[in-house]
Amino acid sequence: MDDCPLRPARGRGHVLRRPARGISLVASLLLLALILVVVASGLRGAVLQTRMGGAAHDRSLAFQAAEAALREGERAAAAASPASFPAANCVGGNCATPAVGDTPRWLDSAFAGWRAASAAVPSDAPAPEVIAENMGTAPNWPGCENEIPRQPNCSTQRYRVTARSAADGRASVTVQSQVAAP
C-alpha cells in the first residue's frame, strides 16, 4: 500500500502539515493595537505640550504689553498734579481717590474708566489699558515703608497705577505700582 500514487511517501525530511489555527494573525493584531496605543498617547502628549507652549507665549505677550502700559502710566502719574484728577469717578484714565470698602476698580468687571495705553507693544500682543488713582497724601500710606527711593516722612502725593492686558480670554495680566510724585 505504500506504493499508492495518490499518497505522498513518508520518509525522512517530510513534515506533516497541520491545519492553520490563526494564532499568527491574532498576535499581529494585538501587536498592532499595542503600537496604536503607544502612538496615540505620544500624540496626545505632543498636543498638550503645544497648547502649554501657546499659553505661555500668550501670557508672555500679555505681560509685556501690561508692563509697557504700566511704565507709561507711571510716567504720566509722576508728571501729574492733584488738579489733573477728578473729584469723583474717572476721566481719561485718571481716577479719584477710591472710597474705603469699595471694590477695587481693577477687580470690578463693570468698571469702564480704563484708558487705552499708547505704549509700543509687539504687533501680536493684546492692547493694554491703564488707570491712575489719586491716593492723596498721608504719612502712614500703605506701602510707604517699601518704596524705592524712600521718600522723607512718606508724605508726598501718591498715585496707584494699574495696567492690564488680556489676550482674547486666553491670558490676562494685571500689574500695579505705586508712584510718589516729587
Is the N-terminal amide bond of 149 cis, ω within 30° of 0? yes
Residue 2: pLDDT over 60: no
Determine how β-strand 171-180 pairs with β-strand 158-167.
antiparallel
% pLDDT > 70, the chain: 75
pLDDT of residue 130: 92
Residue type, 60: S
Adjacent-strand bridge partners of 119: none
Rounded CA separation 32/132 (Å): 63
Distance separating alpha carbons of residues 90 and 69, to the nearest angstrom? 18
Report d(CA 75, CA 158) in Å as an integer.
Answer: 13
| pLDDT tens, position by position, 6-38 | 555 555 666 667 666 778 888 899 999 999 999
DSSP alpha helices (H): ranges in the chain?
Answer: 23-79
Q: What is the pLDDT, as a whole number, of residue 119? A: 74
How far is residue 127's CA from residue 176's CA, in Å, rounded to a whole number?
17
Mean local confidence (pLDDT), 43-58: 86
Mean pLDDT of 61-89: 87
Spatial separation of the C-alpha atoms in residues 52 and 44, rounded to whole Å: 12
pLDDT class of 64 with cuts at 50, 70, 90: confident
Please write the tens of the pLDDT for every residue from 136-180: 876 555 566 666 666 565 667 888 999 988 766 678 889 999 887
Backbone angles phi, psi at 52, to 5 degrees: -65, -40
**Positive/negative CA dihedral, 30, 33, 39, 42:** negative
Q: Identify the pLDDT of residue 5.
A: 56
- Which residues, at least 6 apart from 129, have a Cβ–Cβ distance to it below 8 Å? 69, 93, 114, 115, 116, 117, 163, 164, 165
- In whole angstroms, give the CA distance from residue 100 to residue 125: 34
Task: Give the global pTM.
Answer: 0.67
Question: Could you tell me the three cell numbers for 116?
Answer: 487705552
Measured over the CA atoms of residue 130, residue 136, residue 137 and residue 139, the dihedral's sign is negative
Q: What is the pLDDT of residue 15?
A: 64
